[in-house]
Structure 1
């Protein structure tokens, strides 16, 4: 039996579909949701949301937000998503290396925070490329 999932930003519906399984990027790690999951509200980190339907995974890069699981419905409210239109493995790997160096060389707290956010996005892009290939 499938569950319904909706991914929403403040200005648009990103997707509204059914899923066999959903993996959310929680603040303390990944959260797997299957049919019949207990009710839950959780904060989401920047990372990769994965939706599984008919043995195929669909990745979506989220930029923070909240998720609500209620009976067989998952609603994901996010600040923004990143499109996965033209991701190449070589480009994504270079971005990840660049983001890692930026975190290591950041001198102020704000610079470290900004660099950490870019590192999370770069890591999510690499995971997404792996699911798409």
Structure 2
């Protein structure tokens, strides 16, 4: 038994295929999904989705959105997504450092809020690229 997974972003399908299990970031924490999971619709947080099918897990950076689980079908509609293998860890690290500098220079709550969101996105990209263990 396997899951049929489809990850869609505004620029097209990021990944589509079958999986043994999937882990998605939600506002309440990571959610693991196995075949036979109860039907569910949930929001997706900025973070890394992990797809397991065999010995090589696939990491996908997600920038929020929604997931619908119906039977063994998983449909993820993300505001933005990118395969971890397509992310350059050095560029992701530089983006994280720039976002952290932006937070240090922020002069009001609006700028700090935007900088924190940029940091979370950069951390997710770095984690998906295999450059950081946690976000």
TM-score range, shorter chain: 0.7 to 0.9
1:98 corresponds in structure 2 to 98
2:115 corresponds in structure 1 to 115
Task: Provide Cα deviations, 1:62-105, integer angstroms capped at 9, x if missing partner.
Answer: 111000111111110112223542413x4433433332343344
State the 1:60 CA deviation: 1.1
Question: Would you say how many aligned residue pairs link Structure 1 and Structure 2?
Answer: 130
1:1-133 aligned within 5 A: 1-82=1-82, 84=84, 85-88=86-89, 90-130=90-130
State the 1:8 CA deviation: 1.2
Partners in 2 of 1:86 and 1:53 — Cα distance? 21
Task: Provide Cα deviations, 1:17-73, integer angstroms capped at 9, x if missing partner.
Answer: 001111111112111111111111111111111111112111111111000111111
Structure 2 gaps, min length 5 = none
TM-aligned CA distance change 1:45 to 1:3, over 3 Å: same
Partners in 2 of 1:82 and 1:111 — Cα distance? 26
CA RMSD of aligned residues (A): 2.0
Structure 1 gaps, min length 5 = none
